[in-house]
Chains A and B, each alone.
Chain A
Amino acid sequence: MAFTLKVNGSSHEIDVDGDIPLLWVLRDVLGMTGTKFGCGQALCGACTVHIDGQPVRSCQTSVNSIGDSVVTTIEAIGHTPQGAALQKAWLDLEVVQCGYCQSGQIMSAAALLKDTPKPSDADIDSAMSGNVCRCGTYQRIRAAIKQAAGV
C-alpha cells in the first residue's frame, strides 16, 4: 500500500504493507537511523518518536495508523525549544555512555517537558520509566532533565 508520511517537516511517499511498524519505515525505508531498535515490544523506549507531539513507541505503531499526523524524530527534535534545551543539558552533564538508548531518552524527555515544563521527580519517573538504559545513565538523565527544565 502507498502512504504519505510527514516526518520532520517533509512528506515521503512510501509503499509498504500497512501493518509495518513505523520504526522500520523510518530506519530502513527512509534511512533515518537515529531512531533505534531495542526490543520491538514497547518495553524499552529506544524507538520513541513523537506523533503530533505525543511520545509513541514506533516499534508498535503501524504505519497505517498515522494518517495525516506529523512524525518528529530525534533528527529534528533539536528544532523544538524542549529538544534543544535537553540536548544542551545532556552535553553539559555528560549523560551519554554508549549512546544507543539516548535518542529515545531525549524524545521521551522532550514530550515530558512540553506537557510538564517543571517536572517533579515523580513526573520524571513516570515519563521516563519506559526507557531502558543498560549503561545505567539514569542519574544523569534525571539531572539533565531538571537542568533543562530549570528545576
Chain B
Amino acid sequence: MDGSILTNRIEGETAMSRRTFFQGTGLLLGFALTGARTEPVFAAPVSQVTENDVTGTFAPNGFIRINPTGAVTLVIPMIEMGQGVYTSLSMLLAEELEVKLDQIQVQHAPPNHALYVNSIIGIQNTGGSASVRAFWTPLRQAGAVGRNLLIAAAAKRWNVDPASCRAKDGVVFDASGSKHLSYGELARAAAELPVPPVKNVKLKDPKDFTLIGTRAKRVDSPIKVDGRALYGIDTRLPGMKVAAVAISPVLGGKAKTVNEKAALAVKGVRQVVNIDEAVAVVADHMGAAKKGLEAAAITWDDGPNGKVNNADIVKQLEEESKKPGVVARNEGDAGKALAEAAQRVDAIYQVPFLAHAAMEPMNCTVHLRKDRCDIWVGTQAPTITQSLVVELTGLPKDAIKIHNHLIGGGFGRRLEADGAVLAVKIAKHIDGPVKVIWSREEDIQHDMYRPYYLDRLSAGLDAAGKPVAWTHRIAGSSVMARYYPPYFKDGLDPDAVEAAAEPPYALPNIHVDFVRVEPPGVRTSWWRGVGPTHNVFVVESFMDELAHAAKQDPVAYRKGLLGHNPRALAVLSLAAEKAGWGSPLPARHGRGISVQFAYGSYTSQVAEVEVAADGSVKVKRIVCAIDCGMYVNPDTIEAQIQGGTLFGLTAALHGSITFKDGRVEQSNFDSYLPMRIDEVPVVETHLVRSSEAPGGVGETPTAVVSAAVANAIFAATGTRVRRLPVDSNSLKSSS
C-alpha cells in the first residue's frame, strides 16, 4: 500500500492520461455513483475499454483494475487528508470483491469532471463528509460484480457450476476446496465474460460482513510515521525554484514599493516577481527566498478596503438582521404563537470569522510551458482548480495536469483554488518549475474565512414550558452563492441554514429565515462545515435557554421534544447516560448537552467543564454518542470524533479572526491559538449500531461540541455564552 501513495507523484503522471491508464491486461471494472444510466457497473478487458466507454453514456466515477499479477488498483476521485478515506473505500471494495485489504492499492484520479463526480456534492470534491455516503453502494456493487466474474471464470475452467465455488482473499476455490485459482490467474478470462446485471448480483447481508465494521488498519499510516509521505509542499522537480510570497495585507491592495535590488543581493535569490496583488521572491531554497522577501521591504497601497474593521462588519449584520430574510422554513404561525405565548425568550448569538490553519501551509508548485501547465498540489477540488487555470493560461483543459497529493489538513481550505491561481500568476514570469510556499502568517492572514454570523432568535413557551413558537433569523455571508451558484436558489443558501431550518425537535410553529450579508474586504469559504458548525451552536444553546426558562433539566426538556425522533432521542440518552448526567459535581463545574442531526448523522455530546475563579475554562471530558448509520471503520470514526471535537473546541475557546484597517489582526499560532496536548480533554465515543444508510462523520463533532461546552459553562457559572469564542473575562467569579 505504502508504495502506491508514495509513488503517486510518478503514477499520477501516467494516470493523467486515459490512454496510458487503459494500457495493459487484466480485468477493468468501472462503477458509477448516480443513476442516469442503465447499469452502474461495467467490466471489460483493460485494453479494450474505449474512450467512449468512459465519456459516453456510462461515465464511471471510479475504476478497479485487477491485473494478471493479482494486484488490485482502486482509482477514486477522493483525496486523503487525514479522514481515512483511502482506508474506508478500500474496505468497501475488499468486502465484496473478497480480497485482503493490503491487496488493494489506491490511486487518486485525474481531474475529469465527467468521470469523477461525487454524487452527493456534485463536483469532484472531497468534502461535506460525503465520501463514504456516496460510495457505499456503488463500490460494493462493483466489487460483487468483479467477484462474480472471477468466480465464473474459474467455474468455466473447471467446468463446474459457479454456485459451487467460493472466493476468499483473492482466490477462487471449488466445492471441495482442492482446486483453486488466484484472481491474477483469472483476470484475463474474467474480462471476456458477459457482465451480470447488477440487480442479479447479491450484495452481502451486513451481518455477514467480515471487514466492514472492523477496526482495519489505515492504509496510509506507515509512510506517515517515518517521513516518507509526500504532501504537495514536498514536491521536488529538476530545476525547480522555491518562492516565498507576500500578498497584499488588504484585499484588493497593491505593492507600492519593492526593493528588488536588496532582495536580489541575497545569496541564492534568483528573481523578484511583482504581480501587484503579491510579490514573490524566487530562490534556490526557501531560506533564501524568505530572506530575500524580507530584504525587499515591500510597502503597500491599501486600495478600497483599507478601512475595513470588525466593528463595522458586526454593525452591518446587526442592522441587516432587523430586516426579514428569505424564508427557509415556515410552519404553523410562529408570529401569532409568539404573541400568545405564556413566556417569551429572545436572544442574539454571534460567531466569529475563523481561519483553517491546517498544519501544511498553503503551497503550490507550477511548471508552465507554452503548451501545458503542470500543477503539483494537494487539493480537495481538482476540477475547479483545472478550470480556473484554463481561464488564466488560455490553455485547453487537457493541457492542465493536476498532480494531486496527500493534504496536510484540509478542513475545507483546499476546496478553494486561490493558492493554485496565485502560483500560476507567479509562474507566468518564471522559466521552469516553481514551488510557491506561503508563510504561516500569509496562510492565516489570506485565508478564506468561515463567515461571521449574527442570529436573532425568539421563542414562546406555553404554561408548561413547552416551546410553542420558534423564530430564527440568520444573517451573514453565503459561501454557497459564490461556490455553487446553482444551489443558491431565490436568495436561500441551503448550507447556511442547515440544522437551523430543521432542528430535531417537535416545534409546531417555526419560522427560519436567512439574510445574506457579504462583508466587504473579506473572503469567506467552507470550514469543516459552515452551516451546522454555526447553527448547532445557536440552536442548542437557545434550546438550553428555553429549558432554563421552563425550569427544567436540559436533557429531560429535550427528551420531551424528541418523542417523534427516535434516533436523535437515542443518541441524546446514550450520551447523557455515559456521561453520568445528573450526578453531583463540585462548585464551578458543570455539564452541558447538545444534540444534532447534520451531515446525515445523529450526534450528541455532553461536555464537562470547570471554570476557574479567573474565568478560564477547562474542559475536563467530552462524551459523544453518534448514530451514523452503517459504518465502515469504527476506529477511523473514533479518530474523526476525537479530532473533529478538538477542532470545534479550539474554535469555541480560542478561535477568532478580526479585521482592523483591512488587515487580519492574527498572524501565527501565538495569536490564532491551537489547542495543545496539555489543554485537551479526553473524548469518549459511543457508536450506535445501526442498519440505516451511512451518514457523514468528519464534520459532525465539530458542529456539536461548542453548544455542549457553552451549556456546561452556563451550568457551572450561570453565565450564558451567546458569542464565540468564549470570553473568560465574563466568567470571573464574583466571590
**Across the interface, which residues of B come within 8 angstroms of A35, CB to CB?**
227
With A28-B286, A33-B230, A36-B359 known, 16 other A-B pairs at CB within 8 A are: A16-B267, A17-B268, A25-B287, A33-B233, A39-B668, A43-B440, A44-B440, A73-B227, A90-B225, A96-B220, A126-B678, A128-B677, A129-B678, A134-B411, A138-B676, A138-B680
Q: Please pick, from B225, B642, B647, the residue contacting A140 in the complex, using a CB distance under 8 A.
A: B642
Verify A132–B674 contact, CB threshold 8 A. yes
**Which positions 128-146 of chain A face chain B at CB distance < 8 Å?**
128-142
**Across the interface, which residues of A come within 8 angstroms of B645, CB to CB?**
136
B13 part of interface (Cβ distance < 8 Å): no
Question: Which chain B residue shows the least CB distance to A97?
Answer: B82
Digitize B616-638: 1 where CB-to-A-CB distance is under 8 Å, 0 elsewhere: 00000000000000000001100
**Across the interface, which residues of A come within 8 angstroms of B712, CB to CB?**
none
A119 part of interface (Cβ distance < 8 Å): no
| A140–B639 CA distance with the chains assembled, in angstroms | 9
Between A and B, 13 residue pairs with Cβ closer than 8 Å are A19-B291, A20-B287, A32-B227, A33-B230, A33-B233, A41-B668, A95-B221, A96-B220, A100-B409, A103-B227, A129-B676, A130-B676, A134-B358
Verify A100–B668 contact, CB threshold 8 A. no
| B interface residue numbers (CB < 8 A to A) | 81-84, 217-218, 220-231, 233-234, 236, 242, 266-268, 284-288, 290-291, 357-361, 406-411, 437, 439-440, 635-636, 639, 642-647, 650, 668-670, 674-680, 682-683
Interface SS majority for chain B: loop
| A75–B360 CA distance with the chains assembled, in angstroms | 19
9 smallest beta-carbon distances between A and B, as pairs = A34-B227, A100-B408, A98-B82, A99-B224, A136-B646, A97-B82, A24-B287, A28-B285, A136-B643
Interface SS majority for chain A: loop
**Across the interface, which residues of B come within 8 angstroms of A20, CB to CB?**
285, 287-288, 291
**Across the interface, which residues of B come within 8 angstroms of A102, CB to CB?**
224-225
How large, as a class, is the contact surface on chain A? 35 or more
Q: Decide yes or no: A33 and B234 within 8 Å by CB, A17-B266, A94-B218, A125-B677 being known contacts.
A: yes
Verify B360–A96 contact, CB threshold 8 A. no
Q: Please pick, from B267, B359, B437, B670, the residue contacting A98 in the complex, using a CB distance under 8 A.
A: B359
| A136–B266 CA distance with the chains assembled, in angstroms | 39
Verify B360–A98 contact, CB threshold 8 A. yes
Verify B225–A87 contact, CB threshold 8 A. yes
A53 part of interface (Cβ distance < 8 Å): no
Verify A96–B669 contact, CB threshold 8 A. no
| A88–B286 CA distance with the chains assembled, in angstroms | 33
Q: Please pick, from B82, B226, B285, the residue contacting A24 in the complex, using a CB distance under 8 A.
A: B285
Q: Decide yes or no: A99 and B287 within 8 Å by CB, A94-B218, A140-B639 being known contacts.
A: no
A151 part of interface (Cβ distance < 8 Å): no
**Which positions 19-62 of chain A face chain B at CB distance < 8 Å?**
19-21, 23-25, 27-29, 31-41, 43-44, 46
| A73–B288 CA distance with the chains assembled, in angstroms | 22
**What's the nearest-Cβ distance from chain B to residue A132, in Å?**
5
**What's the nearest-Cβ distance from chain B to residue A18, in Å?**
10
| A142–B223 CA distance with the chains assembled, in angstroms | 20
**Across the interface, which residues of B come within 8 angstroms of A71, CB to CB?**
none
| A27–B83 CA distance with the chains assembled, in angstroms | 26
Q: Decide yes or no: A94 and B357 within 8 Å by CB, A17-B291, A20-B287, A28-B287 being known contacts.
A: no
**Across the interface, which residues of B come within 8 angstroms of A41, CB to CB?**
440, 668-670
Count of A-B contacts judged by CB separation below 8 Å: 199
Verify B221–A137 contact, CB threshold 8 A. no
A117 part of interface (Cβ distance < 8 Å): no
A74 part of interface (Cβ distance < 8 Å): yes
Verify B286–A91 contact, CB threshold 8 A. no
Question: Which chain A residue shows the least CB distance to B411?
Answer: A134
Question: Which chain A residue shows the least CB distance to B242?
Answer: A28
A113 part of interface (Cβ distance < 8 Å): no
Question: Which chain A residue shows the least CB distance to B407?
Answer: A98
Question: Which chain B residue shows the least CB distance to A122?
Answer: B678
Question: Which chain B residue shows the least CB distance to A102?
Answer: B224
Verify A37–B286 contact, CB threshold 8 A. yes
Q: Decide yes or no: A34 and B228 within 8 Å by CB, A16-B288, A43-B668, A134-B647 being known contacts.
A: yes
**Across the interface, which residues of B come within 8 angstroms of A78, CB to CB?**
226
**Across the interface, which residues of B come within 8 angstroms of A94, CB to CB?**
217-218, 221, 635-636, 639
| A71–B242 CA distance with the chains assembled, in angstroms | 24
Verify A17–B642 contact, CB threshold 8 A. no
**What's the nearest-Cβ distance from chain A to residue B185, in Å?**
32
**What's the nearest-Cβ distance from chain B to residue A135, in Å?**
5
A5 part of interface (Cβ distance < 8 Å): no
Question: Which chain A residue shows the least CB distance to B289?
Answer: A24
Q: Decide yes or no: A101 and B285 within 8 Å by CB, A40-B440, A139-B680, A139-B683 being known contacts.
A: no
Verify A46–B639 contact, CB threshold 8 A. no
| A137–B225 CA distance with the chains assembled, in angstroms | 13
Verify A141–B407 contact, CB threshold 8 A. no
**What's the nearest-Cβ distance from chain B to residue A17, in Å?**
5
Verify A142–B286 contact, CB threshold 8 A. no
Verify A136–B359 contact, CB threshold 8 A. no
**What's the nearest-Cβ distance from chain A to residue B4, in Å?**
16
A111 part of interface (Cβ distance < 8 Å): no
| A132–B635 CA distance with the chains assembled, in angstroms | 22
Verify A98–B227 contact, CB threshold 8 A. no
**Across the interface, which residues of B come within 8 angstroms of A25, CB to CB?**
285, 287
**What's the nearest-Cβ distance from chain A to residue B659, in Å?**
22
Q: Decide yes or no: A100 and B288 within 8 Å by CB, A37-B437, A94-B639, A139-B682 being known contacts.
A: no
**Across the interface, which residues of A come within 8 angstroms of B218, CB to CB?**
94, 96
**Across the interface, which residues of B come within 8 angstroms of A133, CB to CB?**
359
| A8–B384 CA distance with the chains assembled, in angstroms | 41
Question: Which chain A residue shows the least CB distance to B84?
Answer: A97
- Interface-centre pick from A74, A78, A98 (highest chain B CB count, 10 A): A98
Q: Decide yes or no: A28 and B284 within 8 Å by CB, A134-B647, A136-B646 being known contacts.
A: yes
Q: Please pick, from A21, A124, A130, A136, the residue contacting B287 in the complex, using a CB distance under 8 A.
A: A21
- Interface-centre pick from A24, A33, A78, A134 (highest chain B CB count, 10 A): A134
